[in-house]
Amino acid sequence: MRSRYSAAEPMKQDTSFIKSDAVILRTYEYSETSYIVSLLTRARGTLHALAKGARRAKGTFAGEIDLYAEGQAVLIVRPEVSLHLLTEFCCKERHLPLRQSVDRACAAGYAGEVIAAASPEGESQPELYDLLTQTLQGLEAGDVPAVTAFCQVHLLRLGGYMPDLATCTACGKRVTGPHVAYSFMKSGVLCAGCLQPNEPAARVSRSAISLASSLSRGGAAALSRTRVPRALARETISFLGHVISAAFEQEARMLQPTLAALVR
Ligand SMILES: [Zn+2]
């Protein structure tokens, strides 16, 4: 996927040593002493790196490497190689509550993966990085479904993927009624007159569309005051998840199992 995110900057191939804010999205045991880690970095998007000695209790990393940990990473990035070397990670925020609740952990995992899918290696996308850290912060104590929907809406908004949910994408008329039909083929809503009998479309409630609209206008600070009824949250998260999958094609389709767990 070629990123549509506006802040994207091409990677400078001649720089091999970088220092960047980063969040650890995944850790894989590589050997008895080392991890391979996936990071979302502010400077270079998603990177995968070997952290030698990171599984030892003492040493350079000394327990700093942990899932969802946010801090400053130092990496040696080699052009044309997909596995780089993490030489330092100084943890500033552990986001511990995210590992103490299955729902919060599941939502944090989804947010990390979907933002990483939109943030390929080599592209600096500070707004996406900030969206991830705001989402992780919000998930620590906030309403999990509301924070998840907030993350989805702003991911779509930042990439220019957020559809106009008020007007028919075919004829431009304002769409009314308690439910609207969303066409994934046309990436927009259809009025009753334009919806063809065999057209594959999702039926979305007006309440879900209103929730998505209000979340897209609000900042992260509004999250602490937002509580969403469970059924409405499930519908909104599921709908936005499908819009994201359609926008990102292959990458986000792999996230559907995680999304299904969130809306169970
Ligand atoms: Zn129409």
Per-residue pLDDT, 53: 82
**pLDDT of 197-255, one tens digit each?**
888 889 999 999 999 988 888 777 667 677 889 899 999 999 999 898 888 765 555 55
The closest of 141, 139, 167, 166 to 152, measured between CA atoms, is: 139
pLDDT tens figures, 131-146 = 999 999 999 988 899 9
Q: Is the pLDDT of residue 190 over 90?
A: yes
Confidence grade of residue 2 (pLDDT, cut at 50, 70, 90): very low
Q: How far is the CA of 166 from the centre of ligand 1 (A)?
A: 11
Segment among 1-5, 15-19, 101-105 with least mean pLDDT: 1-5
What local confidence, expressed as pLDDT, does residue 263 receive?
A: 61
Mean pLDDT score of the chain: 86
Asked whether residue 73 carries a pLDDT value surpassing 90, the answer given is: yes
Q: Which residue has the tokens 């994207």?
A: 8
pLDDT of 246 reads: 84
The structure tokens listed for 161 are: 């993927």
Q: Residue written as tokens 């906030």?
A: 142
According to CATH, what is the number of the domain 13-94?
2.40.50.140
Query: Which long-range contacts link 246-253 to residues 24+ away (Cβ below 8 Å)?
Result: 246/184, 246/187, 247/156, 247/159, 247/161, 247/187, 248/1, 248/114, 248/117, 248/118, 249/1, 250/1, 251/1, 251/117, 251/118, 252/114, 252/117
- Phi/psi of residue 144, nearest 5 degrees: -60, -50
**CB contact at 8 A, 156 and 74:** no
pLDDT band at 153 (very low <50, low <70, confident <90, very high): very high
DSSP-derived secondary structure letter, 152: H
Q: In the Cβ-directed half-sphere of 254, how many Cα atoms lie within 13 Å? A: 9
Q: How confident is the model over 183-191, as a mean pLDDT? A: 90
Are the C-beta atoms of 136 and 23 separated by less than 8 Å? yes
Ligand 1 midpoint to CA 165 (Å): 12
**pLDDT over 90 (residue 151):** yes
Task: Calculate what percentage of the chain has a pLDDT beyond 70.
Answer: 87
Q: What 8-state DSSP symbol labels residue 173?
A: P
Instruction: Read off the pLDDT of each residue in 49-57 and give the average, rounded to a whole number.
Output: 85
Whether pLDDT at 65 is above 90 = no
Confidence at 1, pLDDT banded by 50, 70, 90: very low
Note the pLDDT of residue 6.
52
- Listed residue (79, 86, 73, 6) closest to 43, CA to CA: 73
Which residues are near ligand 1, the ion (C-beta closer than 5 Å)?
A: 168, 170-171, 191, 194
Can you list the pairs that 251-255 forms with residues at least 24 positions away whose Cβ atoms lie under 8 Å? 251/1, 251/117, 251/118, 252/114, 252/117, 255/110, 255/113, 255/114, 255/117
pLDDT of residue 90: 93
CA of 195 to the centre of ligand 1 (A): 7
**Per-residue confidence (pLDDT) for residue 61, from 0 to 100:** 78
Q: Report pLDDT for 126.
A: 93
Tell how far the Cα of 175 is from the centroid of ligand 1, in angstroms: 8
- Ligand 1 centre distance from Cα of residue 75 (Å): 52
SS3 217: helix
pLDDT exceeds cutoff 80 at 104: yes
Measured CA distances, 132 to 21, 137, 258 (Å):
12, 9, 17
Question: Cα of 139 to ligand 1 centre, how many Å?
Answer: 38
Query: What residues does each domain of the chain span?
Result: 13-94, 132-262
Spatial separation of the C-alpha atoms in residues 92 and 209, rounded to whole Å: 37
Q: Where are the alpha helices (DSSP H) in 36-194?
A: 102-117, 126-141, 144-158
